[in-house]
Amino acid sequence: MTDRPIDPTTQARLGAVSTATLATVLFKRGLRNQFVQGARRLGAGKRPNMVGRAFTLRYIPAREDLDVLEGYRDPEHPQRKAIESVPPGQILVIDCRGDPRAASAGGILMTRLHVRGCAGVVTDGGLRDVEEIGGLAMPAYCAGPSAPTTLTRHHAVDMQLPIGCGEVAVFPGDVLVGDGDGVIVVPQEIADEVAAEAAEQESLETFVLEQVAGGSALPGTYPPNDDTRARYAAWRAKRED
């Protein structure tokens, strides 16, 4: 598990590429299952990318005798402790086994995370108070709005262990990126190289999109042949001036 900050160049690159481009770069490395299925961003409008390391929280199914409101009085309650433990700049990722029928958390806890400098929240369960959460600057991704308290379906057990979220393996320290399409998980060991390749790819795709918007046909343009690559090199050199 890596706890050190993301390399600033990597952080900047990941803030400027799409999850689609990252998915393709990961696919080239044989990683086909890194996109968190079913998690949508709350709130309307275009927003900057969410980028940060994963801080994990794990829920199992609730048991009625254990999951009672009084449990929250204990500061060691794993949900509450996790929220107070996420380091600034990291992303709280919650394993709800894909069950959207209860909230993973609500407006007060999301506000606390925001105040603490958390870079975002990702859950494959629901969230409550979604209008309030959608108004926070901190991005939040979930399977949908859901008013029932977490205890209705979930028992928080531990934090900072490997989990599944949206059918993807998430290890503490993995680098998550979120945009309008959703959230992708970049294994921490390859985050720097993936970011570098994705930035290259994104630059090329910007050029390609310009060509296509201007009327170029796909063959030779996307993927680019030698001629297109040469024109891209010129375009890029000019932009970097």
- Binders of a copy of itself among residues 141 to 200 (CB under 8 A) are 144-149, 151-152, 155, 157-158, 161-164, 167-170, 179-182, 184, 187
Cα separation, 225 vs 206, whole angstroms: 16
Q: Which residues contact 215 (CB under 8 A, 6 or more apart)?
A: none
Does 229 sit near a copy of itself (CB under 8 A)? no
Pairing of strands 120-123, 91-95: parallel
Cα separation, 223 vs 237, whole angstroms: 20
Does 16 sit near a copy of itself (CB under 8 A)? no
Does 108 sit near a copy of itself (CB under 8 A)? yes
Dihedrals φ, ψ of 145, to 5°?
A: -70, 145
**Residue 51 contacts residue 57 (beta carbons within 8 Å):** no
Of residues 109 and 195, the one with the C-beta less far from a copy of itself:
109
Chain-centroid distance, C-alpha 138: 12
Tell the smallest beta-carbon distance from residue 237 to a copy of itself (Å). 22
Structure tokens that stand for 78 in this block: 């794993």
**Taking every pair of C-alpha atoms in the chain, what is the biggest distance, in angstroms?**
68
Structure tokens that stand for 161 in this block: 């262990």
Of residues 3 and 167, the one with the C-beta less far from a copy of itself:
167
Does 49 sit near a copy of itself (CB under 8 A)? no
Cα separation, 65 vs 68, whole angstroms: 7
Q: Interface residues for a copy of itself in 55-94 (CB under 8 A)?
A: 60-66, 69, 72-73, 75, 80, 83-84
Tell the smallest beta-carbon distance from residue 77 to a copy of itself (Å). 9
Range in contact with a copy of itself (rule: CB under 8 A) among 8-16, 39-47, 86-94, 229-237: 39-47
Of residues 12 and 115, the one with the C-beta less far from a copy of itself:
115
Does 8 sit near a copy of itself (CB under 8 A)? no
Tell the smallest beta-carbon distance from residue 196 to a copy of itself (Å). 18
Does 233 sit near a copy of itself (CB under 8 A)? no
Pairing of strands 163-165, 91-95: unpaired
